[in-house]
Amino acid sequence: MKISLKAIAGIAALTSLATFGSQAQSLDTPWQDDAGFYVGGNYGYLNVDGHDDFDDDNDVWQGLVGYRFNRYIAVEGSYIDFGDYGNNLSRADSDGYTTAVKGILPITNRFSVYAKAGQLWWESDYNVGGVSGSYDDESLFIGAGLSYNITKNFLVNAEYTVYDADLDAGELADNFSDTDFDTDLNQASVGVEYRF
């Protein structure tokens, strides 16, 4: 009888350990541990905050590719189309490429927050008072967002990013006293991400 009770107690203990192990694994973040490449896209709202001539709201599109080293660090590159903004007197059409370092903080096994900082290389075609030109430059940007794993490979996110752009329309110096248009491009977007 004692042998039977010991056997039953041993089986119960092993079953409890197995159950505890599977629960611990489900509470861990196995999806977020996977390193590898990912692709994604964002669509959102762009607020152009500059001189009065360039204040505007617009849609913004972004395609991205990245690589996760672990659950905390990734590098990311993207192409972004800021679209056409301004008014009848002064307009600009901007797009560019970015590269960034992304820091990720997992909160649960599906939900995480992140912040990123990087460099934007951009080009603007502009028309100011009927005089057209093109200008390219590079600017810094910072952003932060929330991410949610729908499946192991598919995520949705919401993000806010600020780009510090400075348009210097130098060839218009003869026509305008101030040709330095300091502009912040503020992007609020939602997006998707697919991990390979």
Domain ranges of the chain: 1-33, 35-195
Q: Which fold has domain 35-195?
A: Porin (2.40.160)
Tens digits of residue pLDDT in 86-138: 766 777 788 899 999 999 999 998 999 999 999 999 888 877 777 777 878 88
Tens digits of residue pLDDT in 128-184: 777 777 878 888 999 999 999 999 899 999 999 998 876 555 444 444 444 455 567
How distant, in Å, are the alpha carbons of 76, 131, 133 from that of 119? 11, 29, 23
129: left (phi over 0), alpha (psi -120 to 50) or beta: left
Q: Of 86, 81, 94, whose CA–CA distance to 51 is shortest?
A: 86
User: DSSP label at 52?
Assistant: G
| Reported pTM | 0.71
